[in-house]
Amino acid sequence: MKWLLFPILFITLSGIRAQTTKDLIIEFSIPPVDKTIELEKLRFYITNIQLYSEDSIVFEELESVHLIDLMESQNSISVAFPETVGFNSIHFNLGVDSLTNVSGIYSGDLDPTKGMYWAWQSGYINFKLEGKHPLSQARNQSFQFHLGGYLPGQYSIQQLKFATNNSLKLNVQFDINSFFETIDFSKENTIMSPGENAVKLSEKIVTYFKLNE
């Protein structure tokens, strides 16, 4: 019976070696914000991270939900994937999908105490941006953009796709100043619930994320 242990042990260790992983680090950042603007909150969800080789998925992160908080230095993601995997593009979502929204309350980055959850009818806030702008007509010149929604007509999750050269460290920058230049803060300074306005602003915001390698 003891002799049988050797081949079993060999197979087990071989399996461990075959599953050796390496880490992909994705950092998120913003450039220095215009001095006339006071930025108070900038949080968003990054989900469903996938690595592609040409047009084929070669790796997909399981339970892929990450809360990025650029005002609290929670600005990086570490993704472990097999050493044997090569890739030339990365795809991920900005926001939380509809299935997650209707599957109940979660812990970790999806914990409602993180301040990114409305209620079971409205679900998760995909992107939260708050601060003060000199042109805002709201009280104290404030602006609040809480963008989310998962029902038909309110679906605001967005996908980002970036070509890459198999680099293990990526920097994704949100060009917040260019985004601010597209907003007329005297008319548009508050979105606090799902709807057409949240969808339109989500579609605009995603175009200002750029990859730096």
**137-163 pLDDT, tens digit each:** 999 999 999 999 999 999 999 999 999
- C-alpha pair distances (Å), 207 with each of 21, 46, 83, 157: 32, 15, 31, 13
Q: Is the pLDDT of residue 198 over 80?
A: yes
pLDDT at position 37 over 90? yes
Q: Is the pLDDT of residue 166 over 90?
A: no
pLDDT at 165: 86
Specify the residue for token string 């409602």.
Answer: 112
For position 122, what pLDDT does the model report?
A: 82
Strands 125-132 and 142-148: antiparallel
Cα separation, 120 vs 48, whole angstroms = 21
CB atoms within 10 A of CB 11: 9
**Span 58-94, pLDDT tens digits:** 999 999 999 999 998 789 999 999 999 999 999 999 9
Q: Strands 169-174 and 21-29: what pairing? A: parallel
Residue 169 has pLDDT above 70, yes or no: yes
Whole-number Cα distances in Å, 162 to 10, 166, 169, 186 = 40, 11, 13, 34
Let me know how long the chain is: 213
Amino acid at residue number 198: A
Domain range annotation of the chain: 22-212
Reply yes or no on whether the pLDDT at 17 is more than 90. no
Q: What is the predicted pLDDT for the residue at 88?
A: 94
**Out of 14-18, 33-37, 88-92, 117-121, least confident range:** 14-18
Dihedral over alpha carbons 13, 17, 19, 25 (to 10 degrees): 140
Mean pLDDT for all residues in the chain = 90
Please tell me the predicted confidence (pLDDT) of residue 95: 97
Confidence bin at 119 (pLDDT 50/70/90): confident
The helix, strand and coil proportions of the chain, stated in percent and rounded to the nearest 5, come to 25, 40, 40
> Could you give the CA distance from residue 127 to residue 19 in angstroms, rounded to a whole number?
35
Rounded to whole angstroms, how far apart are CA atoms 120 and 102?
7
Predicted local distance difference test score (pLDDT) of residue 212: 84
Q: Which residue has the higher pLDDT, 118 or 17?
A: 118
147 neighbors 179 (Cβ within 8 angstroms): no
pLDDT surpassing 70 at residue 33: yes
Contact yes or no for 154/197 (Cβ under 8 A): no
Give the lowest-confidence range in 35-49, 113-127, 139-153, 171-185: 113-127
Residue 19 pLDDT class (50, 70, 90 cuts): low
83 close to 52: Cβ distance less than 8 angstroms: no
User: Distance (Å, rounded) from C-alpha 193 to C-alpha 123?
Assistant: 10
User: From the CB of residue 199, how many other CB atoms can be counted at a distance below 10 Å?
Assistant: 19
